[in-house]
Amino acid sequence: MLTVYQEIISPYQYLPGGIIEAYHAMQKKYGYIPEDAIAAAAQAFNMSKAQAYGVATFYSYFKVGKRGKNVIRICESAPCHIAGADQVVAALEKELGIKMGETTADGKFTLEFTECVGQCQATPVITVNSKPYGDLTAEKIPGVLAEYK
């Protein structure tokens, strides 16, 4: 009998680059790549667990380990940085009570840095579950977060 992870991985097992497709499918189902799924991928793709983990952590889109229901990413490219992204980061951390890279205890929010989100006309920019919010200031953060609480 196949495990849940093996069922997700098996359609991609014999495709070139199939591990990447399998990780996309895994992340689509769970919102992240579970640690146990990496072991299943290593076995399915005939590689060491270290190699499978390396693939999962190399690409910034993939996240290993549990994440919050609402993933907040802040652009750390030069235009956002110059426009005051550091004040927006400080406001997010203060409002949520966590630091960048962490998840709230209730599992509702995760904070992550990201590269350019293609909204340079409205810096600084964050995305919440891929929805962009531009022209942000620290004062606007409580209103944005209220949409998701």
Domain ranges, ordered by start, for the chain = 4-58, 70-146
Rounded to two decimals, what is the model's pTM? 0.72
Please report, for residues 7, 17, 62, 131, the alpha-carbon distance to residue 10 in angstroms, rounded to integers and kept in the order given.
Answer: 5, 13, 19, 32
Please report, for residues 1, 61, 80, 102, 138, the alpha-carbon distance to residue 130 in angstroms, rounded to integers and kept in the order given.
Answer: 36, 12, 17, 18, 20
Instruction: Report yes or no: 84 and 140 within 8 Å, Cβ to Cβ.
Output: no
Residues of the chain with pLDDT > 70, as a percent, come to: 99
pLDDT bracket for residue 31 (50, 70, 90): confident
pLDDT of residue 117: 84
Q: What is the CATH number of domain 70-146?
A: 3.40.30.10
Q: What is the pLDDT of residues 7-23, one digit of tens each?
A: 999 999 999 999 999 99
